[in-house]
Every structure is written in structure tokens, then in C-alpha cells.
Structure 1
Amino acid sequence: VNHGFGKTIPHMLGITLGFAFLLACVGLGLAQLFARAPSLFVALKLIGCVYLVYLAWKIANSGAPGAGDSVKRPMTFLEAAAFQWVNPKAWVMALSAMTVYTSHADFTKSVMIVVAVFTIVNLPSIAVWCGMGVGLKRFLAEPARLRLFNWTMAALLVASLWPMLASSH
């Protein structure tokens, strides 16, 4: 919505490749670490949730593009890739995917297949998300609509944390 499709490409690539790297790391060892030290995973979830609530607050209170408090630029490739490591939803998805979709028979191969499939599906999905944002720009030019949209997106972000916080793992 704020930056256009072209300027957001590095952000999209960062999300895609950052998540792929996180997914591979989870598949190749981090899941076992969390199984042995569940308090580490709980701490990661809580830190990530606090950060996402902070982001929701920033979204809810952001103004129109160019307004004093709005984000000046999209995340860079490295910022978006690094963000995956503090995004609790990314961790839950990675841990769930590796638990559900890997095979003990040929574990390393199945981890790489899961990483490849998620990577192939992730980039076009994020591109559609970005394209929809570009399409919304004109609709959100009216301040009341933008405010409603921002508060709705912030509320949905906070609500998306509930299943993770409610789960016992």
C-alpha cells in the first residue's frame, strides 16, 4: 500500500528466503533443541508476540504514506529475512511443517523437499499479497478508510497470535 510493488521486491525475497533458511534450520536441528529445552521456545514465542503487538500498535497508529509517522521505506532484503527469526508465526509454521511433512525414512531429503515446496509457494503468495496492497492504495486514500483499514489489520495481527498463545507447545 505504502511503497508500491517494485520497491517491495527485496522485502518479498527476504521473507521468502529468510523463512526457507529458518525452515531448513528447524528441520535440521532446532526442533530437537526446543524439544529438549521447551522454555527456550516459550521465551521465543513470548518475545515474538510482544514484538508483533508492538508492530500492531505501529500499524494501527500509522498515517497515510508521506505522513510524518509512517514508514519511510519497506524492509530491506536482510531486514525481512532476519524478521523471520523473531516472528512467532513463522516459528510455529516451521515447527509444524517439519513435524507433519517430514519422513524419518529419508529425513534430510524430506526436509529439503519441505523447504523447496514452501519456498516455491511462498514467493507467489507474497507477491499476490503485495499486489493487493498496491491495488488498495487508491481506495485507502480517504483518511477514514485508511484508519479503519489500519486498525483492522492491527486487530487481525493481534488476533492471529491467539492460537499460538493458547497452544500448550
Structure 2
Amino acid sequence: MPTLILSMSLFALAASLSPGPVNLVALHSGLHFGLRRALRHVTGATLGFTLLLVLIGSGMEGLSAIVPRLTELLRWVGMGYLLWMAWGLSRSDGPGHERAAPLPPSFWRGALMQWLNPKAWIASAAGVSVYTADGGAALTVLFIVLFFVICYASLASWALLGARLGRRVMEQRRLQWLNRLMAAGLVIAALSITLI
């Protein structure tokens, strides 16, 4: 059992900590609004992902068989949403100098991002099929609890990194470059959705 818990934890860590759109928004939120306010996004994204994991763990993956176009629709809607966020981020020049002010962190936007994020769907489906298929409800609950804790800690670390960078990079020119770099990351994430 300890080996299984370690394996589940490493899977959750790799899926949660690796750069992706939700993590970039956590970084951006910490950078522009500080850690406390960024935790709204972190909490929403973690709970949104956990709800997705619970539903997939309880058999919702059969929905894709019923609605074959669900994955394709999710891919295009998610890509559009990421591109819209990248556009807004690329236009942000920093506190007090925005052409387009960055959206403040939101619980609901964080949760919505997970539901529009194909990476979250794939990680949920893969994790459930690998770790809980033969283990029953107790193993599913264990996987969900581990993933919740690791996901929250991972996203919070991105927000903390943003808050720390925000204290050091308050010069407008540096913020512009950092915002554009994060926007480019979101564009790459959006375009990579087409490869899934």
C-alpha cells in the first residue's frame, strides 16, 4: 500500500505541478494581486478539478461514449478560452499602467478553467483508470484526497512564486515582458490542445 500511495502522489504531483494554463494563471494572479487574493483562483481550480475527478471516478467517463463530440467541443472551447486569456494578459502593462486591466483572481474562473482544460480531463481519466479501476470506492477516495492536497499545494506554489516575483519585478517594463511571456505560454498551451 505505501508503494501505491507513493505512485499516486507522484502522478498527482506531475499532473499538478507541471506548467499549464491553470498554473500560469496562478502565477499571474500572485504576481499582480499577491498570494492572499491569488488563493481564490487556487481554491477554485483545486475544487473544480476535484469535482471533475469525483465525477469521472464515479463513472462519468461513460459520458464520452454517449456524446462522442464532447471531447472535441471541450478542446475547441478550452482553446478559445485560453487564447482570450492570453490576449488580455498580453495587453496588461502592470499595476496602474494597464491598457486592459488583468482580471482579479476568482474562485469561479479557477473552477471553470479546470472544466475547460483538456489536460485536467485527461489527467483525471488516466489517474482513475490506472489507480482505482480494480480497487473499489476506498481506493478512489484515497486517490481523490491525495490529488486534492497535492493539487492545492502545487497551484499555491505557483501563486507564491508569482507573489515573490511581484515584489522583485515591479518595474513596469519587466512586468510587461513577464506578462507577454506568460501570454505566450497560454498560447502554446492552447495550441497544444489541438495535439491531444
TM-score where L is the length of structure 1: 0.85
Matched, 1:152 2:181: yes
2:159 aligned residue: 130
Deviations 1:60-95 (A, max 9, x none): 1112123342225221x2342233222333222222
Matched, 1:142 2:171: yes
2:76 aligned residue: 46
Identical-pair percentage: 32
TM-superposed CA distance for 1:104, in Å, is 2.8
Matched, 1:165 2:188: no
Aligned residues: 165
Aligned equivalent of 1:99, options 100, 110, 129: 129
Matched, 1:55 2:55: no
CA distance in 2, matches of 1:105, 1:115: 13
CA distance in 1, matches of 2:148, 2:129: 17
Name the aligned partner's letter for residue 144 of structure 2: V
1:89 aligned residue: 119
Structure 1 residues 92 and 162, CA gap change in structure 2 (3 angstroms)? farther
CA distance in 1, matches of 2:110, 2:74: 18
User: Unpaired runs of 5+ in structure 2?
Assistant: 1-30
User: Unpaired runs of 5+ in structure 1?
Assistant: none
Aligned equivalent of 1:29, options 50, 59, 78: 59
Matched, 1:11 2:11: no
TM-superposed CA distance for 1:30, in Å, is 2.2
TM-superposed CA distance for 1:102, in Å, is 2.1
CA distance in 1, matches of 2:132, 2:67: 21
Deviations 1:88-124 (A, max 9, x none): 3322222222233222342x33332221111010111
TM-score where L is the length of structure 2: 0.75
The structure 1 segments of at least 4 consecutive aligned residues displaced by more than 6 Å after TM superposition are none
CA-atom RMSD, angstroms? Answer: 2.0
Find the residue that maps to 1:127 and give its secondary structure.
Answer: helix
1:113 aligned residue: 142
Find the residue that maps to 1:38 and give its secondary structure.
Answer: coil
Matched, 1:73 2:104: yes
CA contact (8 A) 1:60 1:151 kept: yes
Structure 1 residues 29 and 79, CA gap change in structure 2 (3 angstroms)? same
